[in-house]
């Protein structure tokens, strides 16, 4: 893979994942491809969870028994 000219010159993980799929290398390097997908998905998943929690109302009901 280091000697493949189609892979050289990539600047980020998105470009690498696209090239892996275009060259069918995602089947050969399936764990690398999975790791790249998880790394790219993590910020989106984290932001979705933060958005869900920020919308929740954590106040106690007024008639709560202590």
pLDDT in tens, 37-57: 999 988 888 888 888 888 877
pTM of the model: 0.64
Q: Which residue has the tokens 């958005």?
A: 51
pLDDT exceeds cutoff 60 at 27: yes
Quick check: is 48 in a domain? yes
Q: How many domains does the chain contain in total?
A: 1
- 41 lies in some domain: yes
Domain-located, residue 17: yes
Q: Quick check: is 65 in a domain?
A: no
User: How many residues appear in the chain?
Assistant: 66
Is 63 a domain residue? no
What is the reported pLDDT for 56? 77
Report the alpha-carbon distance of residue 59 to residue 48 in Å, rounded: 22
CA torsion sign for 45, 39, 35, 1 is positive
Count CA atoms within 13 Å of residue 52 on its CB side: 6
Domain that holds residue 35: 13-53
Tally of CB atoms within 10 A around 20: 21
CB-CB contact of 54 with 47 (8 Å): no
């Amino acid at each position: 893979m280091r000697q493949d000219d189609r892979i050289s010159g990539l600047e980020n993980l998105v470009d690498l994942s696209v090239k892996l799929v275009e060259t069918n290398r995602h089947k050969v390097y399936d764990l690398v491809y999975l790791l790249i997908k998880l790394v790219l998905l993590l910020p989106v998943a984290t932001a979705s969870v933060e958005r869900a929690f920020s919308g929740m109302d954590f106040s106690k009901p007024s008639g709560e028994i202590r």
